[in-house]
Amino acid sequence: MQQYRPCLKIVFLSLFLLTLAPVLFAQDYLDPSKPIEVRVKDLISRMTLDEKYRQMGNSVPGIPRLGVPAYNYWSEALHGVARQGLATVFPQADALGSTWDPVLLQQITTVVSIEARAKTNAGSQKNLTFWSPTINLLRDPRWGREEEGYSEDPYLTGRMAVGFIKGMQGDDPKYLRTVSTIKHFAANNSEFNRHRGSSDMDERDLREYYLAAFKAGVVDGHVQSLMGAYNALNRVPCCASKELMTDILRGEWGFDGFTVSDCGAIADIYTGHRFAKTSQEAAAMGVKAGTDINCGGVYQSSLKRALEQGLIAESDIDLALFRAFRARFRLGEFDPDSMVTYRSIPISELDSQAHRDLALLAAKKAIVLLKNDKGILPLDAKSLKSIAVIGPNANRAIFGGYSGTPSFSVSPLDGIRNKLKAPQHAFIRIKAESFSDQSGIKTGPCREGGRNVGYVNEGDWVKFAAIDFADGCSGVEVRVASQSKGGTMEFRLDGLTGPKIASVVVQSTGNWQKWVTLSAAAGPAAGIHDLYIKFYGTGFDDLINLNWFEFKPVNPNYRAALNSGGVVVDYVEGCTVGGRDESGIAAAAALAEKADAAVVVVGTDLTVSDEERDRSNIGLPGVQEKLVQAVYAANPKTVVVLVNGPRLEINWIQENAPGILCAWYGGQSQGAAIADVLFGDYNPGGKLTTTWYKTLDDVPAIYKYDVREGNRTYWYYEGEPLYPFGHGLSYTTFAYSGLKLSARAAKAGAAVKVSLTLANTGTREGDEVVQLYIRNNDPAEKLPKKKLVGFERVTLKAGQKKTVTIPLAVNGETLGYWDASAHAFRLNPAAIDVMVGSSSGDIRLTGKLRVTSGGIDKAGGKK
């Protein structure tokens, strides 16, 4: 495998070692043969107090005299390496949860961590600790960060967390590929009060519901980092809670990694929660509670005075540093390249075809078929002559929060056009050699969306794009944002001295330039035309920063370019996601009326729900429902595709539209995945991981965290949901039979094997997620109506059968409940219902177990 130059910090360290080899090779921390604990303690013992303080923030300086490079603990990788330029962008987290496939998630995060190493090996300034995944439970649909989590269910969330962690951290016995950070510990589920709110609950809710996924990440995933939350738990700020950060995390679960605060959470201890009076008290509380690293500057600025005031001991600081540096040593930061196999990962791994293929597969596996009345789906491409694609999310690819920059992206409209081989009227190929930023090269169809360009010299003509015009294209529109305050911007096509198709001069009136139409009376000739840009005039410096540019086709005449027998694909936006303007709805309805079928792509984006932005309602925002109603009235053969982060209340659509797909924020290939499902090249098998409500009228306020009495989640919800937890249809059918419970008297700590026969009774290959639930009927306790305790995603060909076996753990955590008086899980004698089905609302097989003082007795099963 080709070797690439190591990152700058390794070069620095290597040169330093060569210079001072006689001295440094005698130091334990630089000796790879020594135990890691010895090495870390030796390094810390050589630091001065001031050096120690400075090492306790998220961005820390180097210590040149010790050969310690600077380090930034803050990187993100929720669904791909984020905010570092080019990277493969996978579906958002709630979409990945809907795959019900922890193995797939582990494959994805293996790719993510490989790309992270490749970027670092090639000289990236970012480091290798990643603040992902988010494993807070999706208990309330109004939470602004719902897209970042996996499920409302703690067991499913825990299994996905373990898959994520194992992929990120790798399987090398000595070195970590990257460090994964589970967040936000704990019970963090609202944005409106995130710097001052308290999540209040009893001990049972905390242990049974809110902590379960974190325990799985620590005990089963062996995660090496954990982030403390902004909020307080029962009035104690999480990052100042010794009970959370030390007693439970390290004492009970055996966590051996390091902890970090959410950004600003240590300051919140005294500014938001008023739990401490000064920054010195807050810093001391955080470190002594077990929060090792502060995202923010409070530790670095206040620990010295806290030590002088006797609020903290140097040994407390040493312990925090030991935990953080142990992770850095496990990344191989202080060892030779030859010992750390991950340092040989080449830059060619970045954005490879295999990674692109996996992103497409994940997007397809995440799609949930919500409704398919009279088999409207899949659409028959052979019988269609025209299709109307409508909606605010049709002509753009939405990634969601914490995203990287892919080399291409496919919108739903792109995907449908590509699938039907409809004519495409403009393609953009970026010529990156003129730019300082080499990472954002885009290749793909002309669409709305842009990228950071870089810097262009004033007065120079720069060729920065090649536009491939198809027959019938009337032109292209360009919009550029710059840091200029005035002056002139000029565009040209096809050369600087010879004949040109268009030349436009625009006077700048601000940072954003207006749309500029480049066209000719007869339209550009088919083929590739170079686009040039020049800045000159007043108000410019020597270099102009082109922050952003966008392209879109101008009035494309698709019908004029159709080949014989082709499918006409026409597009109208209809409305924006959150806007109130209804003026475009009539045009959308008119387009739908003359088409053989209509696909309406509606949903959300980050303006609707995001970090620091909870929702007040869960309906389709803006006038999108009116758009769907008008299109359906014009053409009953209407399929609704949801491109959404959070779940939605879509009662009217469920009652009327014959076909509904939930495609989520599906990553860079979301449009291709949607098209594959729409036209039957892939059979959807995703399942919902949350309860979709018809109304919020009977759901408590978002700030109320009580689960048992709160009418929340499928565990306790008493109403009729729009879609139940686990719901998802298929283009084929599955039959369940032959439920068997293997053990007659399994002892506590063992497992009952639950087995059944699953058969594909339809005509297509498909995936089914077999879901195992239990209900403890102990009359003395209020326990969940159903509780997920196992699942398996199974692929079967038409007519194929398979025996599916799922182990059912026999312990109080799985079958019993938390006894607050004993501070432990308890398994009392009780009757246990065993339920297997296609969703929590579609149980196909049932059986019974009886908990006795001697263990578990089988009581039988039935269809």
What residue has token string 């879901």?
A: 771
Query: Residue 176 burial by CB count (10 A; 0-12/13-18/19+): exposed, middle or buried?
Result: buried
Euclidean distance between CA atoms 344 and 332, whole angstroms: 12
Preceding amide of 133 cis, omega within 30: yes
Contact 156, 150 (CB under 8 A): yes
Annotated catalytic residue: which of 101, 140, 205, 262?
262
For every residue of 798-841, DSSP letters joined together read TT-EEEEEEEEE-SHHHHSEEETTTTEEE--SEEEEEEEEEETT
Listed residue (291, 168, 318) closest to 237, CA to CA: 291
Query: Could you count the other beta carbons within 10 Å of the beta carbon of residue 781?
Result: 16
**Beta-carbon contacts of residue 173 (< 8 Å; ≥ 6 apart):** none
Strand partners, 129: 179
Question: d(Cα 478, Cα 514) in Å, to the nearest integer?
Answer: 8
Instruction: Name the strand (E) or helix (H) holding 572.
Output: strand 568-572
How far is CA 819 from each of CA 208, 775, 781, rounded to the nearest angstrom?
Answer: 10, 17, 10
CA neighbor of 807 nearest in space, from 742, 715, 725, 735 = 742
262 is catalytic: yes
HEC string for 576-592? CCCCCCCCCHHHHHHHH
What are the structure tokens assigned to 688, written together?
């919902």
Assigned token pair, 476: 């292209």
d(CA 746, CA 810): 7
Task: For residue 127, give the nearest of 62, 181, 72 by alpha carbon.
Answer: 72
Answer left, alpha or beta for residue 612, where phi above 0 means left and psi between -120 and 50 means alpha: left
Rounded to whole angstroms, the Cα distance separating 673 from 661 reads 11
| CA 822/CA 111 separation, integer angstroms | 44
The pair of three-digit structure tokens given for residue 174, joined into one six-digit string: 């000595």
- Assign residue 484 a region (left: φ > 0; alpha: ψ between -120 and 50; beta: otherwise): beta
Q: Please report, for residues 117, 121, 324, the alpha-carbon distance to residue 10 in angstroms, rounded to integers and kept in the order given.
A: 13, 10, 19
Q: Which positions are annotated as active-site residues?
A: 262
